[in-house]
Amino acid sequence: MVKISASILACDLGNLEREIKKVEHMVDFIHIDVMDGHFVPNITFGVPILSAVRRITDIPIDVHLMITNPEDFVDIFIEEGADIISVHFETTFHLHRLIHRIKDKGVKAFVALNPHTPPEMLSEVVTDIDGVLIMSVNPGFSGQRFIARSIEKIRKVHSMSKDMGVDLEIMVDGGVNEQNAEILVKNGATILVMGYGIFKSENPEWIRNLLMDQKGISDSH
């Protein structure tokens, strides 16, 4: 079953609880983008936002650390309620060690890949991780246009996971919309991160309904 993660980067933060309650019946995760102004050209959320979201909802929270030196911060995000933590391949020297540090604390470990990073870079850790987060825009800002070559990357990661005998989640983040959601799923995506398509849409139910029709499943929420 394809899952949806709602990115609060696109919501009305002045009404965070209302925004989350509005969508929690149709999403599987709340997505929190943590940006440091160093690895990416923007500064967004930190631990206090995660803590606030955790108080608002019981839905699992996936935290995307777009920061340098993520090993300095993963423990506090885990302590405050993250269920998934994604760290960028490009940001840490000891990726294998960090993956197992996250998993040893009972949290799922994903590795994120920037648009320019080839999926082959994951070959030495693919059997250790729970999932891959494929950035289909350049990280830093919400509302960007989807990079079409990301579809081939999704396909390669899906093929790699099958070849290695592992069942990886493949999360896609950036520019996901009604026009490309179906092809992303067909090529192996299992989690779609959406911000504008959820919080800014006049009919935010469209994505769930589309995937339900495609897969022939009933909504579990």
Catalytically annotated residues: 33, 173
Specify whether the CB–CB gap between 199 and 6 falls below 8 A.
Answer: yes
The whole-angstrom separation of Cα 40 and Cα 11 is 20
Q: Where are the beta strands (DSSP E) in 98-196?
A: 108-113, 131-135, 169-173, 191-194
Backbone angles phi, psi at 26, to 5 degrees: -120, 10
Helix, strand, or coil (residue 135):
strand
CA nearest to 53, candidates 84, 32, 76: 32
Within the chain, what is the greatest distance between any pair of CA atoms?
46
Q: Compute the half-sphere exposure of residue 151: CA atoms within 13 Å on the CB side of its CA.
A: 11
| Helix/strand number for the chain, H first, E second | 8, 8
Residues in the chain: 221
Specify whether the CB–CB gap between 29 and 62 falls below 8 A.
Answer: yes
The structure tokens listed for 151 are 């579809």
